[in-house]
Amino acid sequence: MNFMEIYLKDNQTMNSPLSPKGSFQGRMRGRLAAVQALFQIEQSGSSSTTVIFEFINHRFGKEEGRKKTDRTFFAKLTEGAWNIHGHSDEVICGALKKGWSIDRIEPVTRAILRAALYEITETQTPSAVIINEYLNITHCFFDEPEVAFVNGILNTLAKKIRPPSS
């Protein structure tokens, strides 16, 4: 039995129905935590499983009395985004200016783009919602130029992956 089977024994999916406000805010926190976890995985060289367990056991465990992070969503997003990060990096490079490599992008920005790209490709959440969520996360770390950069990349990728219907 792998990590996801053990942790996600309730069989929730990335596309599970949301209850009005609580789940929305829980997913918002899950996205932010996933970006932080993806950054930590890349910087530390730790496995995604190790980092996910650390977040669940040490960071989320202190959420008593506060609004909760959607742990299932966080775990699936982090695991999924990290598992395909090599492919995601290639896709992201396709949206960069000629001559740019993925290494030229700030590590936190890479984590944001990887998480967003995973959601765009693997969920039914509307691209505009995903992009808006990740722009809000980008604002937590950066000023407007980096937010505009992330917006441009995500819009370009979303149009390629989910072309608007005629």
Note down the domain range covering 97: 19-161
Task: Return d(Cα 33, Cα 12) in angstroms, integer.
Answer: 18
Any idea which residue has 């980008």 for tokens?
A: 138
Report if residue 138 sits inside a domain.
yes
Report if residue 23 sits inside a domain.
yes
The HSE-up count of residue 114 (CA atoms within 13 Å, CB side) is: 30
Q: What is the pLDDT of residues 97-133, one digit of tens each?
A: 988 999 999 999 999 999 999 999 999 999 999 999 9
Q: What is the pLDDT of residues 16-72, one digit of tens each?
A: 543 344 577 889 999 999 999 999 999 999 999 999 999 988 888 666 656 788 899
What's the structural domain count of the chain? 1
Task: Read off the pTM.
Answer: 0.85
Task: Return d(Cα 40, Cα 81) in angstroms, integer.
Answer: 13
Q: 48: domain CATH number?
A: 1.10.940.10
Task: Return d(Cα 13, Cα 34) in angstroms, integer.
Answer: 16
Report if residue 76 sits inside a domain.
yes
Contacts of residue 117, defined as CB under 8 A and 6 or more positions apart, other chains included, come to 81, 88, 91, 92, 154, 157
Report if residue 2 sits inside a domain.
no
Report if residue 81 sits inside a domain.
yes
